[in-house]
A and B are shown apart, each in its own frame.
Chain A
Amino acid sequence: MGANQSHVLDPTTGIVLLAVFGMLWIALGMWWGRRAKDNEGFMLAGRNVGLALGTATAMATWITSNTTMMAPVFALKQGVWGMLAYATASFGLLLFAPMALRIRNLIPRGFTSGDFFRLRFGNVAWGIFLLISLLYSMSWLVTMAIAGGELVNALSGIHYVTGLTVILAVCILYTLFGGLFAVIGTDFIQSIIILVGIVIIGAVVLTRTDIPEMANHLSAEQPALVSIFMPVALLAVFNNMFFGFGEVFHNNVWWSRVFAMRKSVAPKAFFLAGLLWFPIPIAAGFIALSAGSLGINIPNENMTGPLVASRIMAGDGGAFYAGIIIFVVLFCSLASSIDSLLAATSDLLTRDGFEKFIKRGKAVADHTLRRAGRYAIVATGLAAWLVALPRWPIQNALFLSGPLVASVIWPVIAGLYWKKANHHFVIAAMLLGSAAGLVAYFTIGWFTASLVSVAVSMVLTVAGRLLAPRHFDWKSMNA
Chain B
Amino acid sequence: MFSTTFISILIIGSLIWTALGAITLLILILRDHRNRNIW
On A, residues with C-beta under 8 Å from B are 35, 45-46, 48-53, 55-56, 59, 80, 83, 181, 188, 191-192, 195-196, 198-199, 202-203, 206, 211-212, 214-216, 219, 223, 226-228, 272, 276, 278-280, 282-283, 286
Minimum Cβ distance to chain B for residue A196 (Å): 5
Minimum Cβ distance to chain B for residue A189 (Å): 10
Interface string of B8-23 (1 = CB under 8 A from A): 1011111101110110
**B-chain residues with CB within 8 Å of residue A192 when the two chains form the complex:** 22, 25-26
**A-chain residues with CB within 8 Å of residue B7 when the two chains form the complex:** 80, 211, 214-215, 226
Checking A53, A198, A286 against B38 with a beta-carbon cut-off of 8 angstroms, the contacting residue is A53
Count of chain B residues with Cβ under 8 Å from any Cβ of A?
A: 26
Nearest A residue to B23, CB-CB: A195
**B-chain residues with CB within 8 Å of residue A181 when the two chains form the complex:** 39
Assuming the contacts A80-B7, A212-B4, asked whether A191 and B39 have C-beta atoms less than 8 A apart, the reply is no
**B-chain residues with CB within 8 Å of residue A278 when the two chains form the complex:** 17
Across the A-B interface, give the 6 residue pairs with the lowest CB-CB distance, nearest first: A52-B28, A282-B14, A276-B21, A279-B17, A279-B14, A195-B22
Nearest B residue to A272, CB-CB: B24
On B, residues with C-beta under 8 Å from A are 1-2, 4, 7-8, 10-15, 17-19, 21-22, 24-26, 28-29, 31-32, 37-39
| Alpha-carbon distance A80/B25, docked complex (angstroms) | 28
A-B contact pairs, 16 of them (CB 8 A): A48-B39, A52-B31, A53-B38, A181-B39, A195-B21, A196-B22, A199-B22, A202-B14, A206-B12, A215-B2, A276-B18, A278-B17, A279-B15, A282-B11, A283-B15, A283-B18
Assuming the contacts A80-B10, A282-B10, asked whether A219 and B1 have C-beta atoms less than 8 A apart, the reply is yes
Q: Is B25 within 8 A of A49, CB to CB?
A: no
Minimum Cβ distance to chain A for residue B22 (Å): 4
Q: Is B22 within 8 A of A55, CB to CB?
A: no
Q: Is B39 within 8 A of A46, CB to CB?
A: yes
| Alpha-carbon distance A199/B20, docked complex (angstroms) | 10
Minimum Cβ distance to chain A for residue B16 (Å): 8
Q: Among A52, A56, A181, which residue has the most Cβ atoms of chain B within 10 A?
A: A52
